[in-house]
Chains A and B, each alone.
Chain A
Amino acid sequence: MGGGADRPGERFEGRGRRLRFLGRLGLVFGGGIRLLAAAVLALVVVLAGFLLANAWPAIVRFGPGFLSGTIWGDQPGGPFGAWPAIAGTLLTSALALLFAVPIGLGVALFASELAPRWLRAPLAYFVDLGAAIPSIVYGFWAIAVLVPFLGDTVEPGLSRLTHGRWPFAGPTTGGDLLAASVVLAIMIVPTIAALSREALRAVPRELREGALGVGANRWEATRLAVLGPAAPGIAGSIVLGLGRALGETIAVAMVFGGVYEAPTSLFSRGATIPSWLVTQFLNPLPGLDLNALYELATILLAVSIVLNVGARLLIRRLEAPRRSRRGARWRTAPTVVRVPAGTDSFAAPAWWPRIAERGRARRRWRAVVQGLVLALVVGAVLLAAYPLASLIETTAVHGGVAVVRPSFYTSTPPPSCGIGQTNCPLGGVGPEIEGTLVMLGLAALIAIPVGLLVGVYISEYRQSRLARATSLVTDVLVGVPTILLGVFVFAVVHTYDQTIEASAIAGAAALGLLMVPIVTRATEVALRTVPASVREGALALGFPRHRVTLRVVLGSCRPALVTGNLLAVMRAGGETAALLLTAGTSGLWMTSLTSQTGALSTFIWTAFESYSSPNYTTDAWGAALVLLLMMAVVSLAARLALRSPGGPGSV
């Protein structure tokens, strides 16, 4: 760090001064990013504090009975109980995992191991796209397609088959526990598939070849040499999928019926913690007790923290090499093998000819097993692809009508229009596009630099306690349900001013809060992949440390950084729940940053709430299509960025 300035020779006088200046700049930079990291950490603590402070009166008043209470009263003062929401959350998430884990793993296996090579890249792209589609679009599609399908076809069939016995009891409405679980499963399949695929692909080729080398076929090689090393990553993907399912708000709120009762059958209506939070914050029951809602939010926060920390521990355990032989889980005695006499000759043992003779039949049987696995895996891919294809098709067909009309981009939403009314006036989503761009822009303007610098800090000062704390908090924050980010901001705003309305500023703050941890994590991970030699090479040339970090190290992983930022923009661009709480909806052009502001995603929600108005619905499909196209383009860009040459040569 400017060490060259210690004893500058005469001729290097000017250079020495410059180096001293750079050295000082480096110190300022180091101090700056440390402060920034501390500020982010403090902000998160403060936000959690606000939430807790707001929940405290309820915690004191209702005590532990809050957890088991089954009623959400409509009188001030309660009673308030969280049990129906907790049960709904647990049941939907568990069922969603049950559906999604086999399918997601199947897709991952197909995409990384068994598919023909030409199919792998497009498949990976669609998986990424599926993970990027906003939940509001999934929800809107589910209402239009999935719920009628379940309610009219699947559920009556199941009910007939089982004579309405548990768990298929009750009226078949389609908007119930089964629908919520299926939507969640559809949404988390891409998450599980994408991350599991990464984990599978990260297994070195030599390991596969080692298995092929002893005569394994492709599936056996995967089983022997690939699944084990990929297990921690696969477990991580499942936990992430679970986190997403637990925190999913909008899609569940749309299809789960909104009834505050613990589900007793697959056909029960119900609510989850996030879905109840969003509906209560938006359309409070008369005796709204905000403190009880905050307590409910605190429970969700606690669950997501426990899940995150638990996942970390689980992955660390899985990463430690297994000490026992396969199948030794029930054999505790160490393997003792007595060597039969005469073994040291190279002659084949007596049983060898029998094995060799059976070789051909056995190989055929093994090929059949591989074929069965392939069939299962292809089945999983088709099951995963069908809803995605249906979603894209439905959105394109319904939304296509809207997006080809120029006024769609320039007009305000139409006045609502009753069923059967002809000549409904046409509108557009101009203000919503404006709102999305303004809030996303504001959020990105702050979150991207902050996220980058904090990421740099965490990876450069890995040893320090502050860096480790920031890293942990970032991890937790990435996994926090987005509705909670909205609740955080809502809590702060309301603590200071009970009358204040939602605003673009608050919306941008929530989106920023969503983006910072994603950018930070992406930066941290990208920097970790830069070999130490790149850094050392540059340091050896006498570059001061901050320049090495900023130019050389960041430069050499630029594609990964671009991808991380695009991912953050995508997540924020489709976010609905947090925006509903913080920015509200408006339908009018923006006049100031402190008034309610609509976005494309929240507009679709509004349309959902007034589903009967056909002109509105068409525009909502248009908004969904715009979001879908945005995700398609951005995830393509992210993919291309990763493929572009990003070596040190491009610094």
Chain B
Amino acid sequence: MPARLEVQELNAWYGGRQALYDVSLEVEDRAATAIIGPSGCGKSTFLRCLNRLHEETPGARMTGAVRLDGDDLGAADAVSVRCRVGMVFQKPNPFPNLSIFENVAAGLRLLGVRRRDELDQGVAEALLHAGLWEEVEHHLDAPGTSLSGGQQQRLCIARALAVRPEVLLMDEPCSALDPIATAKVETLMARLRREYTVVVVTHNLAQARRVSDRTAFFYLGKVVEVGPTDRIFASPAEKLTENYVNGRFG
């Protein structure tokens, strides 16, 4: 499989405190890459470096290169980077004052989609892909925040999909959800990973096994090991990884 996203020697800081050390990683096209590791090891920071959201944190900075299809994202316009690299956050964060429809349409409107039929189609498609369509098609006017937690998270996924990103980043997308909602989002991820390049952070090892093709294990801001998910869980090369995937710490 070809590498879609290449990360080279990525270092990231919050003020004087370094959160990532020389992270290099290749993310494959049309596959899901899981990032696992104990909390505080820099998984979220890594993800936020991929769509340049890291620089929005006061005092944060980064060095190194992130390339998408060979384009250096660091040199590109941050806004266009975030259109190409979509993100779903840990806590569902639909725009509180917008309806379900407008939540999904927001990104399209920013891109300049104006025609009614095009907006309708774009929104419907995104909601279909996010597996939310059947549940909301009759009350698209309701506020996005009136949905349940799991539905809100799928709304956020739809919102991200609507602008047709090339890469989808998901930061512990299920950690705020109950088991049933989690199962729905996982089913969705299983579908999305064949169409998009997905990078998903999870602290749930079983989930990483279920939804990802490749897995990277982070520890204290460094990549310890990357490889096919099966191999990482079955026969990790590193002692640290083995201890972690067998639940001996973390």
Contact = CB atoms under 8 A, between A and B. Distances in A.
B56 interface: yes
A206 B97 CA distance: 14
A219 B160 CA distance: 19
A235 interface: no
A358 interface: yes
Given A214-B159, A352-B164, A359 B80 contact: yes
A224 interface: yes
A338 interface: yes
A358 B118 CA distance: 15
Interface in A90-143: 117
A214 B106 CA distance: 8
Interface in A351-389: 351-352, 355, 358-360, 362-363, 366-367
10 contacts: A209-B87, A209-B93, A210-B95, A215-B163, A216-B107, A323-B141, A323-B143, A325-B101, A325-B141, A337-B123
A348 B164 contact: yes
Interface string A325-362: 11010000011011110011010110110010011101
Given A334-B141, A339-B133, A355 B93 contact: no
Contacts of A351: 113, 115, 118
B121 A228 contact: no
Given A323-B142, A334-B141, A343-B125, A359 B110 contact: no
A215 B97 contact: no
A403 B79 CA distance: 55
Interface of B: 51, 53, 56, 58, 77, 79-80, 82-83, 86-89, 91, 93-99, 101-102, 106-107, 110-113, 115, 118, 120-125, 128-129, 133, 137-143, 145-146, 156, 159-160, 162-164, 195
A217 interface: yes
B118 A225 contact: no
Contact of B110 (A216, A328, A343): A216
Contacts of A338: 120, 124
Given A216-B79, A322-B97, A359 B111 contact: yes
Nearest to A338: B120
Contacts, number: 152
Contacts of B118: 349, 351
A231 B113 CA distance: 27
A321 B152 CA distance: 15
A97 B90 CA distance: 41
A213 B86 contact: yes
Given A213-B51, A213-B160, A216-B79, A362 B96 contact: no
Given A229-B97, A344-B128, A349-B125, A214 B140 contact: no
Contact of B82 (A215, A228, A335, A367): A215
A144 B123 CA distance: 61
A343 B91 contact: no
B89 A215 contact: no
B107 A214 contact: yes
Given A338-B120, A348-B164, A366-B79, 20 more contacts: A117-B58, A207-B95, A209-B53, A209-B89, A209-B93, A212-B56, A213-B51, A213-B160, A214-B163, A215-B83, A217-B79, A326-B98, A334-B141, A337-B123, A339-B124, A344-B125, A349-B121, A351-B113, A355-B112, A367-B79
Given A212-B53, A214-B160, A362-B112, A206 B124 contact: no
B32 to A, nearest CB: 15
B99 A212 contact: no
B107 A346 contact: no
B124 A343 contact: yes
A326 to B, nearest CB: 5
B146 A321 contact: yes
Contacts of B145: 321
A326 B102 contact: yes
